[in-house]
Structure 1
Amino acid sequence: MHLTAYTKEFKKNLTIALPVMLGQLGHVLVGLADNIMVGKLGAAPLAAVSLGNSLVFIALSIGVGFSFAITPLIAEADGASNIEKGRSYFQHGIIMCLTTGVALFLALWLAKPVLFYLNQPDEVVQLAMPYLDIVAFSMIPLMVFQGFKQFGDGLSQTKYAMYATIGANVVNVLFNYLLIYGIWIFPRLELEGAALGTLISRFFMLFFLYYILRSKKKFATYFVWAKKSLQKKVFKRLFNLGFPTALQMLFEVGVFTGSVFLAGTLGTDPQAANQVALNLASMTFMIAVGLGVTATIRVGNQKGKKAFKELRRIALSTFLLVFLIEAVFAVGFIVLKDWLPTFYIDNTQVIYLASQLLIIAALFQLSDGLQVVILGALRGLQDVKIPTLFCFIAYWVIGFPICFFLGKEDVLGSMGIWIGLLVGLSASAVMLYFRFNYLSKKLIEKGSISLPL
């Protein structure tokens, strides 16, 4: 097949992906705003935000993973023009997301004491506690927002969540500025101010997105409560897709969270440097997440139509596109490695350490981007169990042991931690590609196949 068979899909891929990219980037920019503003307070407060968010990211990965179950089911129903089925998945999905948000808030609140047993600097743990209390509560509005977002994504209407997220960023930056530093009539709350800014912004984006979707005629039929009451089998289908997806995200985010804890054992400066590099890498990762969602939507649509040759061609076009985009970011990280960390902090040692980590971060852009988009394509096929096993092997059997052994102070330190991340991401990308290649060819050969959840 000629290269143009894939490149001609770039425009449509980007049309769907761009709002998702900007929306996902918006979530990271909330963290970026916190980091930059808190970084002005010093290395210890910045490290505290890193430590507090390490637990939040674990919870967030679980919650977002569950919400991702909504998108392929809505996309498949949309491809088959079955509005009734789509409405059922949407309404059950919102209830699932609300329940998940409450459960994650309670889990984070109960898990706080764990921070005292992770060999972290005392001053950092003490600063992280009140920050974590407030950000944990914000999981509730965030998860309900995710439910509405994944519904819109499944219908290829990705722009509305982007509008909500951009608005939330403006709200977050404004309240961060007022509450961290105590501007005008507002008290100086420092880290707690950053957490309150995040909480307020997440309620804002939930109400904003609900209002937009509820007011659009094209979504009206989905908001009419289904005649049939809640059905156990629909929740089961959502859970069968959502739980393995949550584990996939948990395994990856868990490795990166482990890197935060390992960096913390090296001291405050290495932990702050790790947070800077991690935040920068997270922003480029969200670009790949946008294309991953696109892969889920487009593969799900083609699955609903039973157009399996088109399904494979479109999926491969997303793989090629993310590879090219991430290659540009990799070059940018290497060229700008000494300059980018200066946006976060003026500590010379932290800037130097972060610049070294960005060299490795540049190398794993390609693997990280590919693995998340291939996972998206597999999710569109509703194939989630085997990919979950692959993620576990890549991150925890291969990647994390390398992080642990090379990340010791007397071996390679922070550089060793990030080499382990690079190896784990690369292993994931390779295994997932072989899985997609096998399944897509099998679909074409047999014409129709029921893939296992």
Structure 2
Amino acid sequence: MLGMLGHTFVSFVDNIMVGQLGTAELAAVSLGNSFMFIAMSIGIGFSTAITPLTAEADAAHNIDQAKATFKNGLFLCTSLGIALFLMVFYAKPLMYLMKQPEEVVELAIPYLDLVAFSLIPLVVFQAIKQFSDGLSMTRYPMYATILANVVNVVLNYVLIFGKFGFPEMGIVGAAYGTLISRFIMVAYLWKLLSIKEHSKAMVTKIKFFVLDTFMIKKIISLGTPSAMQMFFEVAIFTSAIWLSGLLGKNPQAANQIALNLSSMTFMVATGLSVASMVRVGNQKGLKNFKELRRIAFSIFLLSILFAVTFALLFFLFHKQLPKLYVDFNDLKNLADNTEVVGIASQLLIAAAIFQISDSIQVVMLGALRGLQDVKIPTIITFISYWVIGFPISFYFGKEEQYGSFGIWMGVLAGLSTAAILLYIRFNYLTLKLIRENH
């Protein structure tokens, strides 16, 4: 959980520090990160294929298979990171075609150039992290992300505001902080795994370009649907950023605040999702399907407890939390800041309601990935978010309807549908496996 939270904590710090500069800057980071989120979701989603394959090999004490998973997975993720960087880099002109506020686009482009390049170390890190998770060594990626966050906070402070003789770079300073901290994160995690007894033999002395076609195909066949599942979900949140951009810079900045807070709680659920993927993968390797089901439902209940706690926090503090992101002493922008906080506090009520369905759907997806069942869940996520969720967001998100709150009604509908359908799928599959192996 802390490892996953680390990724969003980087943007949490960026948002709070950039928010002090003004609402246009906050909206620019939001717009730039919307492109990043889509690319990140594909990279992170694809890399999850490494975890169940590693967990299965680890349970069977098959070091050769674990090493092949690591090497081929790392090669694929490095290639994907480069492809995603190029995709985001050349997609920048789209911002002008998307009817986003002009001043926001001007600020977002130089920020996006640097942050897009940080996709390469991010996806490489993700490959090593998923391998480490598959070996049940989840502590080391967490250490790496904590280190990256400390570096990011220091660099942000120094470069955004121009402290200790450094130039004042504004939001470009935040981008440099993100980029440098991500390279440090990769180097640190690889170093840790290369000295630990359990992982040393698997991550050192690898012939990077000598590839195993069978393993490459296996990772791609698991990773591609996983990437699509994550893409469908993240893309509906991204469409919320773009739809709120049509309402103006203040609704867009407010949307970014609510999105940033709810993505932090989502990462806690994602941590539990990784736990369910690893444990279900272990039990699948041992062919113990009753135990597999018991473990999955325990994690599932734990995620609901967390979700209810976060829902209550959002509900109780929906007026206070958005104030962290803006500077109320800035009299010049006071009217803008007040409007942003007003809209964001409404959106946090919607975020409170969807905590539970968001947790259920992500933990169920993790358990299904552990079973290496990825094709049907991909269809489920597409239907939930794009056949049901997006049309509701689009219709109710217009100014004459419910505006920003209407956009989030669609997100809530999509998440709830996904939660119900994925739960039904997992329940059906595990009961079937128990019957067949009895």
Place the TM-score, normalised by the shorter chain, in its bin. over 0.9
2:120 paired with 1:130: no
Are 1:89 and 2:63 counterparts? no
Match of 2:293 in 1: 312
* Aligned partner (choices 118, 122, 129) of residue 149 of structure 1: 129
Scaled by the length of structure 1, what TM-score is found?
A: 0.93
Aligned to 1:3: none
SS at the partner of 1:265?
Answer: helix
Q: Is the 8 A contact 1:88 1:226 kept in 2?
A: no
Say whether 1:60 aligns with 2:40.
Answer: yes
Which residues in structure 2 correspond to 1:351-362 (within 5 Å)?
A: 351-362=341-352
Which whole-Å CA distance do the structure 2 matches of 1:192 and 1:440 have between them? Answer: 49
Deviations 1:88-137 (A, max 9, x none): 11111111111111111111111111111111000000100000000000
User: Residue deviations 1:358-417, cap 9 Å, x none?
Assistant: 011000000000100000000000000000000000000000000000000000000100
Deviations 1:282-324, CA, capped at 9 Å, x for gaps = 0100100000000000000000000000001100111111011
User: How many percent of aligned residue pairs carry the same amino acid?
Assistant: 58
The match for 2:394 is 404
1:9 aligns to what? none
SS of aligned partner of 1:112: coil
What is the CA-CA distance between 1:170 and the residue it aligns to? 0.4
User: How far apart in 1 are the matches of 2:121 and 2:210?
Assistant: 24
TM-aligned CA distance change 1:264 to 1:295, over 3 Å: same
- In structure 1, C-alpha distance between the alignment counterparts of 2:382 and 2:119, rounded to whole Å: 25
Aligned CA RMSD, in angstroms, stands at 1.1
Q: 1:372 aligns with which of 349, 362, 368?
A: 362
Match of 2:435 in 1: 445
1:431 correspondence with 2:412: no
| Separation in 2, partners of 1:217, 1:423 | 47
Q: Which residue of 1 aligns with 2:153?
A: 173
Counterparts of 1:60 and 1:208, CA distance in 2: 20
Q: Is the 8 A contact 2:272 2:303 kept in 1?
A: yes
Q: Secondary structure at the match of 2:247?
A: coil
The equivalent residue for 1:286 is: 267
1:79 aligns with 2:69: no
Q: CA deviation at 1:229?
A: 3.8
Structure 2 residue identity aligned to 1:291: L
Partners of 1:142 and 1:200 in 2: CA distance: 11
8 Å CA contact 2:193–2:203 kept in 1: the answer is: no
Q: Deviations over 1:326-369 (max 9, x none)?
A: 00110110000010000001311111110000011000000000
Residues 1:419 and 2:409 aligned together? yes
Name stretches of at least 5 consecutive residues in structure 2 with no aligned partner.
329-336
- Does 2:12 match 1:32? yes
Q: CA deviation at 1:420?
A: 0.6
Residue 31 (structure 2) pairs with residue 22 (structure 1)? no
Quote the Cα distance in structure 1 between the aligned partners of 2:16 and 2:205.
Answer: 44
Which residue matches 1:185? 165
Listed one character per residue, the Cα deviations across residues 140-186 of structure 1 (whole Å, up to 9, x for unaligned) are 11111111100100011100000000000000000001110111121
- 1:447 and 1:186 map into 2 onto residues whose CA distance is 65
CA deviations over 1:187-241 (Å, ceiling 9, x no partner): 1110110000000110110111011111112212102446994111111100000
How many residues matched? Answer: 428
Contact 1:48 1:124 in 2 (8 A): yes
SS at 2:92 equivalent: helix
Tell me the TM-score normalized by structure 2. Answer: 0.96
* CA distance in structure 2 between the partners assigned to 1:94 and 1:322 by the alignment: 30
Match of 1:106 in 2: 86
What residue number does 1:47 align with?
27
Partner Cα distance (1:152, 1:356) in 2: 40
Contact 1:394-1:428 within 8 A present in 2 as well: yes
State the match for 2:143 in structure 1: 163
